[in-house]
């Protein structure tokens, strides 16, 4: 058995074990819990508007890392909140320290103490310099001035505002790792990248264990990093390098996920959501998951950042069933697929009532996500 296959087998067994531990069994299984609020930590995949400055929103109709909708509600955490009958998530900190070509997007850093989605585009696990951060100047990427507050600091800020602990009625979501891979590929020698990514995974383990669970959280949805090797990022490489690059990205995604699996697969307070395997299944059979285009980014490639993407800047009039907005970020439909993976996993574990009996928040476009194909 090769290393990649062994890691996949370990992942499948660990996720299955975690689900069984969380589910319990028999007629004595308690009713699904009710949550008072959702607290989210992570990066652009969970960011609900950290960079929705007036310059971004009014000039470009943007604000999130996807095809932005005027109605909002496109992110998987927003979709999950509707399923839980909770208020729409809002960004705990907003602003951009933009300069140069991006100066018109700048806005002061502002904290919103009643908002509990701390995720920020570009955020890493512990390193404060993620993609788009001003510290990367004079590299033009730094002109965006993204805040990229790492997960470590996101959690610390929440604890400082919440008396040093989580409530037993909180649902905590965590999804990170992609930016540690992207920056490690740039910052590290090729032979060091894998170890750096594994270290980032181990750092996230420590944060979840010591700063979330040890601080009172009883329900933590820990979403494994999707397989970056199935994304359109691969197509940015010369044809002769694509297969090798895809394999490298897949291995790095696994390298980040394995420490999480080893640490939490038997902890009933942590629900591991296997977004990695889900992304691979979607790549293998896009039509089964309602995807009309699984390879072409929906947003105009001339845009300097997907943060500015809107229906006015897509490559086709109808991109409603495209999978990716740019090389790595999902479209609203792609986020819906991720939200379905989360809700299906929560339902199987008894953390969420079956869809037909949920008292979900049916504002805007409704709330019930259809189950994924079996």
Is 56 within a domain? yes
Tokens representing residue 360 in the block: 């979900």
Q: Is residue 150 part of a domain?
A: yes
358 located within any domain: no
- pLDDT at position 32, please? 79
Q: What is the pLDDT of residues 48-73, one digit of tens each?
A: 999 999 999 999 999 999 999 887 76
C-alpha span between 39 and 46 (Å, rounded): 11
Q: Is residue 374 part of a domain?
A: no
Domain harbouring 45, CATH code: 3.40.50
> Is residue 17 in a domain?
no
Residue 354: asked if its preceding bond is cis (omega within 30°), the reply is no
- Chain center to CA of 217: 20
Residue 54, in any domain of the structure: yes
Examine residue 51 and state whether it is found in any structural domain, yes or no: yes
Mean pLDDT of the chain, nearest integer: 90
pLDDT in tens, 239-282: 999 999 999 999 999 999 999 999 999 999 999 999 999 999 99
Q: Answer whether 29's CB lies under 8 Å from 350's CB.
A: yes
In a domain, 27, yes or no: no
pLDDT in tens, 114-151: 999 999 999 999 999 999 999 999 999 999 999 999 99
Give the span between the Cα atoms of 150 and 253, in whole angstroms. Answer: 18
Domain span at residue 65 reads 33-284+331-353
pLDDT given for residue 20 in this prediction: 42
Dihedral, 336, 281, 121, 360 alpha carbons, nearest 10:
30
Does the pLDDT value for residue 162 go beyond 60?
yes
**Counted domains in the chain:** 1
* pLDDT at residue number 275: 98
Angle in degrees, 0-180, between the axes of helices 178-187 and 193-207, rounded to the nearest 10: 150
* 356: pLDDT strictly greater than 80: no
Cα 171 from Cα 157, distance rounded (Å) = 17
């Amino acid at each position: 058995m090769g290393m990649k296959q062994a890691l996949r087998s370990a992942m499948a067994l660990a996720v299955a074990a975690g689900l069984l531990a969380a589910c319990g069994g028999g007629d004595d299984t308690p009713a699904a819990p009710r949550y008072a609020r959702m607290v989210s930590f992570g990066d652009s995949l969970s960011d609900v508007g950290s960079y929705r400055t007036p310059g971004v929103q009014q000039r470009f109709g943007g604000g999130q890392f996807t095809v932005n909708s005027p109605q909002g509600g496109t992110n998987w955490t927003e979709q999950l909140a509707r399923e839980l009958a909770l208020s729409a998530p809002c960004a705990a900190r907003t602003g951009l320290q933009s300069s140069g070509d991006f100066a018109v997007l700048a806005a002061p850093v502002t904290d919103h103490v009643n908002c509990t989605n701390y995720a920020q585009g570009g955020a890493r696990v512990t390193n404060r310099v993620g993609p788009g951060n001003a510290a990367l100047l004079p590299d033009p990427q730094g002109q965006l001035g993204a805040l990229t507050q790492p997960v470590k600091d996101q959690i610390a800020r929440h604890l400082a505002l919440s008396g040093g602990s989580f409530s037993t009625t909180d649902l905590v979501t965590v999804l990170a790792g992609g930016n540690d891979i992207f920056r490690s590929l740039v910052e590290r020698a090729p032979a060091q990248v894998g170890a750096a990514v594994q270290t980032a995974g181990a750092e996230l383990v420590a944060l979840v264990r010591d700063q979330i669970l040890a601080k009172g959280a009883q329900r933590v949805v820990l979403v494994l990093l999707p397989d970056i090797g199935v994304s359109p990022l691969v197509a940015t490489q010369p044809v002769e390098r694509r297969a090798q690059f895809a394999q490298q990205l897949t291995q790095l995604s696994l390298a980040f996920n394995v420490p999480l699996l080893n640490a939490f697969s038997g902890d009933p307070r942590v629900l591991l959501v296997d977004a990695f395997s889900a992304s691979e299944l979607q790549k293998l059979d896009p039509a089964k998951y309602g995807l009309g285009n699984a390879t072409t980014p929906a947003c105009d490639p001339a845009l300097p950042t997907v943060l500015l993407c809107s229906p006015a800047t897509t490559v086709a009039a109808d991109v409603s069933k495209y999978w990716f907005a740019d090389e790595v970020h999902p479209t609203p439909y792609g986020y819906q697929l991720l939200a379905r993976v989360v809700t299906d996993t929560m339902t199987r574990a008894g953390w969420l009532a079956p869809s037909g009996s949920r008292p979900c928040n049916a504002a805007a476009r409704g709330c019930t996500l259809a189950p994924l194909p079996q």
